Amino acid sequence: MREQGNYLRPFGIGCSQGELLSHRGHITWCVEYEKGALCECKVFVCVKDMYTKQERIVMVIREAQTMVKQELAKHHDTMIQFLRDIVAIPSFDSQIGPVGDAIGARMIELGFDEVRRDSMGNILGRIGNGSRILLYDSHIDTVGVADAAQWEWDPFKGKYENGIIYGLGAGDEKCSTPPMIYAMATLKKLGLAANWTLYYFGNMEEWCDGISGNALVEHEGIRPDFVVIGESTNMEIYRGHRGRTEISVTFKGVSCHASAPERGDNALYKAIPFIQGIEQLHQELKNRPDPFLGAGSITVTSINTHSVSLNAVPDECSIYLDRRMHPAETKEVVLNELRVLPNAHLAEIVVPEYAEPSYTGFVFPVEKIFPAWSLAEDHPFVQAGKATFESCYDRPAKTNKWVFSTNATYWMGKSGIPAIGFGPGEEHWAHTTLDQVPAAEVVQCADFYAMLPLFLEGI
Ligand SMILES: [Zn+2]
């Protein structure tokens, strides 16, 4: 009865009256039959004879797809306008209060079951009360306006030209918020996500990636089963990125008059062999890359000395390191390789903390270590993402990775919660005066966000 020969793996899309399996987005068979009736989820029909009814089943999941697309198409212009509206609300330096208000108001309008802020001031919207949690993560803060003169247009007004929306945060990453919340509202309206609790999580990320999710899990007690990150992925499924850490290294010396330096102990001189060791270490890291994420790296980004005057020997020299890691390069690995460098035994080596209060005054101290992460190509969540993509857009899905770091450094990197990335626009516009996103991709992403929970059923 069950033919399983060609199936890569079952997604087990469940319904109340039987079991459906899908392969690359298409239902292939199920058991149980109730002629003429739709299942409780109103999407998938169970048929007894898979061999003769297969086309009918494919048609039914496509019907769900069609319903979703039709509903979302009614809101295309609104989504684009809403993106332009929230780009116009400044939210740099983690000041996401006003933009969160606007998004919260829209979610209330759209009939979300719950809209509130967490202690840190991130905005949460919930739909459904099912046993499993899928969270849509969109950071709604931006970087600052470094040099206003370099912008060819008002960064908060931007422009909409030839189908491209420009402005600070247009691509990084307010662009994923409208499709996420309209996708969730569509699922509610069509009754397609009865088994899920879905969260939209509009948060701050730019100053400390992952801190918002970390606090959501450990302080608010909300731990999702799956997370989709809305940073730009050029409409591909992203499944990893390198991690990073900041490291402070301090050498102590003894001050004396510069006219007789031999009376003191120059802290800068102690640091020099260590710095040369860093340069050598970077070359060695190139020889042990991760096959997917590439090689780690290390460099000195800052050096400061303390002297009581310019004619005194410095009694302190501190350097700052930027270390990029792949998943095998954990904190211990990173610190141990520093501890064997020349003069390391004379230094204090520390991973500093981020403990800045949020705009609500909430403090959630975290070490400035942001682990690398990746999901295997055959991970069920990646496979579900690919199936969703192929169902939505009728073309093969590609997987890839980010160059920069995202909130997934916490979700998957620290906490092991499966995460994938899917968002409109290209990563390389982030943090530039040409921050931008194609409007067509913004609205197309809504289809993916809406269909993803359906392809995650049974995983
Ligand atoms: Zn971003």
Mind listing the pLDDT tens digit for each residue in 51-92? 334 455 455 577 789 999 999 999 999 999 999 999 999 999
Please report whether residue 65 resides in a domain.
Answer: no
d(CA 401, CA 242): 9
Distance from Cα 358 to the centre of ligand 1, integer Å: 18
Which positions are catalytic? 141, 205
Enter the DSSP assignment of 81. H
CB 288 within 8 A of CB 295: yes
Distance from Cα 88 to the centre of ligand 1, integer Å: 17
* Residue 126 confidence (pLDDT): 98
pLDDT digits (tens, 9 = 90+) for 161-204: 999 999 999 999 999 999 999 999 999 999 888 889 999 999 99
Please report whether residue 428 resides in a domain.
Answer: yes
- Average pLDDT over the chain reads 88
235 and 281 part of one domain? no
Distance from Cα 102 to the centre of ligand 1, integer Å: 19
Q: Collapsing DSSP states into helix, strand and coil, what is residue 418?
A: coil
CB 424 within 8 A of CB 444: yes
Sheet hosting strand 436-438, strand order edge to edge: 159-161, 164-166, 436-438
Question: Tokens 């192929």 appear where?
Answer: 390
* Residue 194 confidence (pLDDT): 83
Please report whether residue 69 resides in a domain.
Answer: no
215 and 103 part of one domain? yes
Please report whether residue 265 resides in a domain.
Answer: yes
Percent of the chain predicted with pLDDT > 70: 86
Q: Would the pLDDT of 2 be above 50?
A: no
254 and 206 part of one domain? no
Please report whether residue 67 resides in a domain.
Answer: no
Distance from Cα 416 to the centre of ligand 1, integer Å: 21
- In 81-181 the beta strands, taken as DSSP E runs, fall at 114-117, 123-127, 132-139, 159-161, 164-166
Please report whether residue 359 resides in a domain.
Answer: no
pLDDT digits (tens, 9 = 90+) for 405-450: 999 999 999 999 999 999 999 999 998 999 999 999 999 999 999 9
Give 40's pLDDT tier (boundaries 50, 70, 90).
very low
What integer is the mean pLDDT of 292-310?
96
CA nearest neighbour of 224 among 240, 201, 257, 207: 201
Question: What token pair was written down for 157?
Answer: 């007004």
Question: What is the domain extent for residue 119?
Answer: 76-242+372-455
Distance from Cα 211 to the centre of ligand 1, integer Å: 14
Amino acid at 96: I
270 and 140 part of one domain? no
Q: What is the CATH number of the domain that holds 217?
A: 3.40.630.10
Crossing angle between the packed helical segments 76-87 and 439-456, to the nearest 10 degrees: 110
129 and 236 part of one domain? yes
106 and 42 part of one domain? no
Please report whether residue 44 resides in a domain.
Answer: yes
321 and 433 part of one domain? no
93 and 158 part of one domain? yes
Distance from Cα 173 to the centre of ligand 1, integer Å: 5
Q: How many structural domains compose the chain? A: 3
CA nearest neighbour of 292 among 400, 371, 381: 400
Q: Would the pLDDT of 26 be above 60?
A: no
- Higher local confidence (pLDDT), 53 or 238: 238
Distance from Cα 370 to the centre of ligand 1, integer Å: 15
Distance from Cα 380 to the centre of ligand 1, integer Å: 25
118 and 167 part of one domain? yes
296 and 318 part of one domain? yes
CB 350 within 8 A of CB 248: yes
Question: What token pair was written down for 190?
Answer: 């069509």
Sheet hosting strand 13-15, strand order edge to edge: 13-15, 18-23, 26-30
pTM of the predicted model as reported, rounded to 2 decimal places: 0.85
Distance from Cα 289 to the centre of ligand 1, integer Å: 25
Distance from Cα 154 to the centre of ligand 1, integer Å: 20
DSSP bridge pairs for 126: 114, 199
323 and 442 part of one domain? no
- In 226-345 the beta strands, taken as DSSP E runs, fall at 226-229, 237-238, 240-241, 243-252, 297-306, 316-325
* Residue 18 confidence (pLDDT): 41
Please report whether residue 61 resides in a domain.
Answer: no
pLDDT digits (tens, 9 = 90+) for 114-127: 999 999 999 999 99
Backbone φ/ψ region at 229: left (φ over 0), alpha (ψ -120 to 50), beta: beta
318 and 173 part of one domain? no
Q: What is the CATH number of the domain that holds 335?
A: 3.30.70.360
